[in-house]
Amino acid sequence: MSAGSSAEPSGTPYLPKPTGSHPVGTTSLYLKDTSRPDPWVPAAKARELMVSLWYPAKSPGRHRAQYMTPKESELLLKEAGITGEAAQVLSTTKTNAFTDAKPAGRKRDLPLIVLSPGHTKPRSELTALAEDLASQGYVVAAIGHTYENVAQTFPDGRVTTCVTCGIKKNPAWWETLGKSRAADVSFVLDQLTGSRPKWKGTSLIDPSRIAMAGHSVGGASTIDAMVKDTRLRAGIDIDGTTHGSIPAGGLSRPFLFLGKPATYTPGAGGPAATWESDWKLLTGWKRWLLVTGTVHQSFTDISVLADQLGVDIDADLSGARSLEITRDYVRAFFDLHLRKKAQPLLDKPSARHPEVRFCSPDTTSCE
């Protein structure tokens, strides 16, 4: 979260309700990859991860899930330099998912979506998107990439902080980060679909229908993960500058770029050029969509919560509207490519979504 100004919060923050018919359950998994040391803390001989799962539930539970811990809220707000709110206010955010509710579904019937957050940001920043997908019948796994976010709490009470924040960044470093995240993703898929699953609802997951989306570097690392792991059948980069990881032979699986015009308008150079380079190597179904009025954090929970807390993130589009658009287009993409349901929303501009422009980098035009 970053802000141009701040004010006292006006009530308890909350996430907009999901659009699907299923109640949503959630749980957290602690996973330990003993096959590799931690890439950022070599003294840690294994890579430890926290993963949040959301899924369709048979019925609502008694306890709504906590959005984040008080300590995580404190450190996230401190990193953003936001003043005026109680440091723990984000920990009070009302979610729509119920902790450890019983999963619903038939064996191998639910598609799986992996989500990867932006650098420095917790996996919880994508909760509203995850809840919506789960309410529509998806299992969603958001990965907490340890030492790459401002705060992450483990079951034993440890709170890791952002080791990578202090590292000098260059294109080669971002490429290293993308490869590390791809390794995290493959490990999580192994744990969720392997012979010794780590979640009681694993049998509901259809291993032939797995896809991924991410925000910022999480979006860029979606390409890295797809290149590394063919189990990922489709992917979305949400406002993330990429780093040229698609091989010369191209990537033929479906892909969606979703971003803000200020950065990713074709022909603008800079970060947009990274999308243009990848576009040429994407040989399957593809779209390049820009949402007018957005800023970088418009595509995450941060925009919704900032509006509610009186924090100005300089977006012309409200957080609630930008979340609605993000949910609609992400869901349409996965419904098309994992469920084979026709999605006119992805064919051309929509009167219901006039903020969304379809871009053609070949002609450097958007409509």
Tell me: the pLDDT tens digits for 23-78? 999 999 999 999 999 999 999 999 999 999 999 999 998 899 999 999 999 999 88
DSSP at 296? G
Per the structure, the count of domains in the chain is 1
1 lies in some domain? no
Residue 64's H or E segment, with its range, is: strand 64-66
Decide if pLDDT at 218 tops 70: yes
213 lies in some domain? yes
More confident site: 4 or 273: 273
CATH of the domain at 274: 3.40.50.1820
Residue type, 311: V
Decide if pLDDT at 83 tops 80: no
3 lies in some domain? no
Q: Which domain holds residue 134?
A: 24-366
Decide if pLDDT at 125 tops 50: yes
Which has the closest alpha carbon to 239: 277, 212, 275, 267?
Answer: 275
SS3 label, residue 100 = coil
Burial status of residue 233 (CB atoms within 10 A of its CB: 0-12, 13-18, 19 or more): middle
Say which residues have a Cβ less than 8 Å from residue 137's Cβ, sequence separation at least 6.
20, 22, 56, 105, 110, 111
7 lies in some domain? no
9 lies in some domain? no
Question: Mind giving me the DSSP string for 254-287?
Answer: -EEEEE-HHHH-TTS-THHHHHHHHHHHB-SSEE
Q: What is the pLDDT of residue 8?
A: 44
pTM of the model: 0.95
What percentage of the chain exceeds 90 in pLDDT? 88
Decide if pLDDT at 365 tops 90: no
Decide if pLDDT at 178 tops 80: yes
What percentage of the chain exceeds 70 in pLDDT? 96
Mean pLDDT of the chain: 94
pLDDT tier at 364, thresholds 50, 70, 90: confident
145 lies in some domain? yes
SS3 label, residue 99 = strand
Q: What is the pLDDT of residue 10?
A: 54
Q: What is the pLDDT of residue 198?
A: 87
Q: What is the pLDDT of residue 43?
A: 95
Residue 328's H or E segment, with its range, is: helix 319-339
Q: What is the pLDDT of residue 174?
A: 95
More confident site: 198 or 65: 65
pLDDT tier at 1, thresholds 50, 70, 90: low
Q: What is the pLDDT of residue 81?
A: 77
310 lies in some domain? yes
pLDDT tier at 306, thresholds 50, 70, 90: very high
Decide if pLDDT at 82 tops 80: no
- Give the CA diameter of the chain: 55
15 lies in some domain? no
